[in-house]
Structure 1
Amino acid sequence: MYVRFGYVAMSELLQNASPSQTMTATQFEKIVDREARLRRLERISNANLDNCLRLVKHNAAHDISFFRLSSRLIPLVNHPLTEGWKYEKAIFPNLKQLGEYIRSKQMRVDFHPDHFVVLNNPDEEVFNRSLQTLLYHYKLLKGLGVDPTHRCVLHIGGKKHGKVSGLETFIDNFENIPSQLQKMIMIENDDTVYHTEDALYLGEKLGIPVVFDLHHHDVNHPETPLSELWPRVVATWSNSPLPVKMHISSPIDGELDKRHHDYIDKDRLLHFLETINGTCEELDIMIEAKKKDVALFTLMEQLSAEPSCELTSEASIHYMP
């Protein structure tokens, strides 16, 4: 099984390369002239895109071809204070340049919009705000020249009216989303409410790929064993142009700790790979560790000493138990 590793949004090794520089609403309002305010936002946005280009070049130098882009590239996007702001034109040259580089290196990139993107909320205003955020990500992907299909990971949402109601509301609301936004979506099991089997219920019913999170599963899992659930996870990717994707992180203090460690527990990963061996030919694993690329390189160094792991690059292995 070929396994490729990626990391999230920012590097611990590159200095002054944040793709998420921002401007608060308070700072925005202190600038008297509205046009000057917006030009300031555009300068920050383009600086974020410049840094993102530095990040993907850093990744390419280390054979990292799987990366989660920051959702905070454009500050105050869709905020009431910036209503009517046509940011797309101002950022297009830098966004196009970033996309050309990503495509030239055949990198897999995607997004994980913030937790306030909730599709199972019955409140129409919350739902519409979520749609606006999805549209923003769609515009970014189109500007990058990247196929938007299966590029945005979402959690299922809350359970204000119970889990069953939450799942059915997700289904109802999903059917009201424009088809181009539907195609972007992947869903992930969470560590509190909706476990892997819940995500599979939606994924199988709606044709959405399930992004399996191992840490979340360890903390919040159904009675059904993983050996039975995993083939169903893989099957949700059968119509995707992309390989199966999953997330890994490790608890800080004890198996049930929801907080993310700086690094990855190599032994837990190897146990998982042994469990699923033979179920898929390719697997992309997104590392959600606080040490970002340092955690990736540390894990690769550890895996290099394992007989079951043949390193094929600085960020990929062949797993052969």
Structure 2
Amino acid sequence: MKIRFGYVANAVGLWDASPSKTLTFTRYSTLPECERMEQLKSLTAQNLAHTKRILYYNIAHEIEVYRFSSSLVPLATHPEVMWDFLTPFKNEWKEIGDLIKKYNLRVSFHPNHFTLFTSPREEVTTNAVTSMEYHFKMLSAMNALDTGLINIHVGGAYGDKTKSLERFHQNLKKLPKKIKKHMTLENDDKTYDLLETLTACEKEKMPMVFDYHHYVANSGEIDLPLYLSRIFETWRNTKVVPKVHISSPKSEQAFRAHADYISLDFVLPFLKIAKELNQDFDIMIEAKQKNLAMLQLIEETAAIRGVKRISSSSVEW
């Protein structure tokens, strides 16, 4: 069983390399009209340049799994802005895509929690479609649609989970099929648990991203060994291995919040369950210390009897 590890957005330790420099609409509105587009382009140029720096860092450290920041383009989906962020940066998007292809990187996006399809309000669904289109356009501009995926949560319950799930499947029909093909669903820590998310994925024939921390926080009576193989099975018709999210509780009092680093003791029960399935998969580290937390967990995992480190960011068990 091979496990590759990756991290989210920022490479801690790289100076001034945030790929998420942004501009609020309030600030944008106060700018003279002649400066607005210039500011949007300047920030986007910085974000794309920093993303390339991070990818070069990943390549140097053999890190093949990476999640892009969703804030690469300021105000890209704001209804009063929605500007053309593709044409002016055609070369930059291509350069990023060339790195992805040359080094066989696995990349993804995770839109914010407002991107959901369970709301009874039509404008929320419309905004969710707009958000998914934005992320799809970026993957397309990078020519990364072959393996690139966009991961979201099911959404809110609105006082009635059954009706909300029905609404999810109905509202999802408004998402263009070409975009839905690149969509995954993740179980959350408060509302839709492992089984509810898995059932939705199986119905929609889409892969499920399993979040172990969320599962522990919101497991109900679900026995993970009974369902993990079904979760992995949802990836069968994709070109990539299953992906799992790993994080640790910040504290007992703030159990749902992410800690700076990953506790091996916390995630080891999951790793042992996964080992029994002998299925290759990738782990996305969701910790405050990003790549540093990832590298520490790899070191600790590789020290387990029977585990062999085979690259800077992967192990074999």
TM-score if structure 1 supplies the norm length?
A: 0.95
Contact 1:22/1:75, CA 8 A, preserved across alignment: yes
**1:220 counterpart (214, 218, 221):** 218
SS at match of 1:175: helix
Task: Report the secondary structure of 2:277's partner residue.
Answer: coil
Aligned residue in 2 for 1:74? 73
Question: 1:1-321 to 2 correspondence within 5 Å?
Answer: 1-33=1-33, 35-83=34-82, 85-147=83-145, 151-254=149-252, 257-319=255-317
SS state of the match for residue 63, structure 1? coil
Q: Is the 8 A contact 1:8 1:67 kept in 2?
A: yes
8 Å CA contact 2:19–2:72 kept in 1: the answer is: yes
SS at match of 1:50: helix
Unaligned runs of 5+ in 2: none
Q: Size of the alignment, in residue pairs?
A: 317
Tell me, in whole angstroms, the C-alpha distance in 1 between the residues paired with 2:187 and 2:139: 24
Give distance in 2, aligned partners of 1:67 and 1:280: 23
Contact 2:151–2:184 (CA<8 Å) still a contact in 1? yes
1:194 and 1:148 map into 2 onto residues whose CA distance is 29
Contact 2:8 2:67 in 1 (8 A): yes
TM-score (norm 2): 0.96
Aligned-residue CA RMSD in angstroms? 1.4
1:223 is displaced (CA, Å) by 1.3
Q: Which moved more, 1:94-103 or 1:1-10?
A: 94-103
Q: Percent identity?
A: 35
Question: Aligned-pair distance for 1:80?
Answer: 2.9
Q: What letter is aligned with 2:87?
A: K
Maintained 8 Å contact 2:188/2:218: yes
The answer on whether the counterparts of 1:138 and 1:148 sit within 8 Å (CA) in structure 2 is: no
Q: Cα deviation per residue 1:120-149 (whole Å; 9 max; x = unaligned)?
A: 112111101110111011110010011166
Residue segments in structure 1 that go unaligned for 5+ positions in a row: none
What amino acid does structure 2 have at the position aligned with 1:186? T
Residues of 2 paired with 1:23 and 1:44: CA distance? 8
Distance 1:89 1:280 in 2: 45
1:240-285 alpha-carbon deviations (Å, 9 max, x no partner) = 1110001000001129710100011112322212112242431100
Render the CA deviation track for 1:3-41: whole Å, top value 9, x for unaligned: 0000000011111000000112122122212x4211210
